[in-house]
Amino acid sequence: MNPGSGSEQPRNPVDADTTMRIIFAGTPDFAAMALAGLISHGADVIAVYSQPDRRAGRGKKLKPGPVKLLAEEHNIDVYQPERFDEQAIREWRSHEADLAVVAAYGLLLPPDVLDAPRLGCVNIHASLLPRWRGAAPINRAIEAGDRETGITLMQMDEGLDTGAMLAKATVPVTETTTAAELHDTLAALGARLLVENLAALERRELKPVPQSEDGTTYARKLSKAESPVNWTLDAADIARRIRAFVPWPVATSVHQETVLKLWDASHSEDPVNAPPGTVVSADRNGIEVAAGRGVVSLQRLQRPGAKPVDVRDFLNGYPIKPGERFDTPQDGS
């Protein structure tokens, strides 16, 4: 446990429409938005669980996650078990919580943990279940070309995102949406959906709807090995993958032995008489690259040692000419 720093502040809700004692479990920015929503609402968050600090940066110093930092700012005790062994389970149960809220936590909750709060554990999941269960629902929705996605408030069970659905909210996905933009939209939406339903959760007014197995898809974890662009694919597929991999792992391609990172792209279905990977044109409007079918227009790029910039600024410092080629990196870099 890492107690919150500073003087202890009152735990009692001030203006909330609930008196529930709530455990919050989460780690990254997505989860921090939900915790901030609970705090702003005046909810009684009695404990926060977050992944152990990880080493990051050139110095490989231990770095706390956004949820831990926010909890400490508000004097909420933080617990960071590596796993839920017997001691961690006893500690969780000792809080005598009414409800646990889980968002992008990253640890498996065993049955004794799930069953401990009076009202169980509720998860904020970034997809419209049963589509995109799993680790990377935001990215896979963009990659697959989904026209909409959203947030599902779900009653957790022992399965992987298989619990009954309690509430949903939907947002559109456009042909310009990046995963970073969608992440921020869904984080805010998840926080709002949770707060709007707190009182109903306490009164057990939300009817659990079992998930259908029809339409179930699995959003596998992202991998650095997916970064290299295969220019023989359709332009629409390539552009979606580029937008889906922002801010990580970021799509890559090789131009004259230099590995470039590709941060944004659009596409057209216009036919082009050039082998895949060939630069068709390059100007302030975009670097047009032939695909297996259609053309990809690169809009934001990054060269080694530099920051990502829009195509106009990129070409000012790194000229690219028609007829040159983009190739696929062989090592996933």
Residues 28-73: tens digit of each pLDDT: 999 999 999 999 999 999 999 999 998 877 777 889 999 999 999 9
Per-residue confidence (pLDDT) for residue 274, from 0 to 100: 96
Rounded-to-integer distance, Cα 127 and Cα 118, Å: 26
- Region 178-201: what's the mean pLDDT? 98
- Region 137-147: what's the mean pLDDT? 98
The domain locations on the chain are 21-219, 224-317
3-state helix, strand, coil in the chain (%, to 5): 25, 30, 45
* Identical fold between 21-219 and 224-317: no
- Region 162-167: what's the mean pLDDT? 98
Residue 114 — φ and ψ, nearest 5°? Answer: -60, -35
Q: Of 4-13, 186-195, 268-277, which range is least confident?
A: 4-13
Look up tokens 């298989």; give the residue: 162
The pLDDT confidence band at residue 5, using thresholds 50, 70 and 90, is very low
Rounded-to-integer distance, Cα 215 and Cα 163, Å: 15
The pLDDT confidence band at residue 15, using thresholds 50, 70 and 90, is low
Distance of CA 101 to the CA centre of its chain: 17
In sequence order, what DSSP letters do the residues of 59-109 get, joined into one string?
TTEEE--HHHHHHHHTT--EE--SS--HHHHHHHHHT--SEEEEES--SPP
Rounded-to-integer distance, Cα 260 and Cα 218, Å: 30
pTM: 0.92
Compute the chain's Rg from CA coordinates: 23
The pLDDT confidence band at residue 332, using thresholds 50, 70 and 90, is very low
**Would you say the C-alpha torsion 169, 181, 103, 164 has a positive or negative sign?**
positive
The pLDDT confidence band at residue 234, using thresholds 50, 70 and 90, is very high
**Digit-coded pLDDT (tens) for 284-301:** 999 999 999 999 999 999
Q: CATH code for 21-219?
A: 3.40.50.170
- Region 185-209: what's the mean pLDDT? 97
CB 127, CB 136: distance < 8 Å: no
Whether the link from the prior residue into 247 is cis, omega within 30° of 0, is yes
Average per-residue pLDDT in the chain? 93
Coil, strand, or helix at residue 186? helix
The CATH architecture assigned to 224-317 reads: Roll (3.10)
Per-residue confidence (pLDDT) for residue 2, from 0 to 100: 42
Q: Is the pLDDT of residue 134 over 60?
A: yes
**Would you say the C-alpha torsion 196, 198, 203, 206 has a positive or negative sign?**
positive
